[in-house]
Amino acid sequence: MIFDAATALIWILFIALFPMAFIWLRRAWRIFIGKDYSEVALKKGLPPENPKKWAPYTGAVNLIAGLVTLWIILGVVLFVAFGVSMGPFDKFDGWNAIAGSTIWIKLFADFIVSRQAHPIAWGRKKKEEVAQ
């Protein structure tokens, strides 16, 4: 193996999958099992008025992204160590494409859920809203 910039980036991406999978699965666990809605649909660090309503969506996004990332990690390790194929992990392009797509789709899905949970107030501001 030749150590160059491309190899370093491959290792950085692969190693970065571990904390991402952990954080996303931990968030799903907190939402579904722990009933902790403090990280649900945040916008500017604030949860929506009714976070329990948006908890299934945020939890599902985190659970799916965490499981896909875990699948990538296991697939790459099993293929490299034992030659067992759990998906398109025989080449760098396969797992790299899935990992990158998972990260971007999760970011976009979180953004969409947070914007749906915090609707834009159209019209003129009321006097008590302006005073705050």
Per-residue pLDDT of 87-99, as tens digits, reads 887 777 788 899 9
Q: Which residue is associated with the tokens 């990158």?
A: 100
Spatial distance between the Cα atoms of 78 and 80, rounded to a whole number of angstroms? 6
**Identity of residue 20:** M
Torsions phi, psi for 46 (to 5 deg): -110, 135
Domain ranges of the chain: 8-31+48-119
Structure-token match 């571990």, residue found: 18
pLDDT per residue as tens digits for the range 86-130: 888 777 778 889 999 999 999 999 999 999 998 887 877 777 655
Encode pLDDT of 1-42 as tens digits: 678 888 888 889 899 999 999 999 999 999 999 999 998 988
HSE-CB for 32 with a 13 A CA cutoff: 15
Tokens describing residue 61: 């996004």
35/29 Cα distance (integer angstroms)? 9
How far, in Å, CA of 7 to CA of 29, rounded?
34
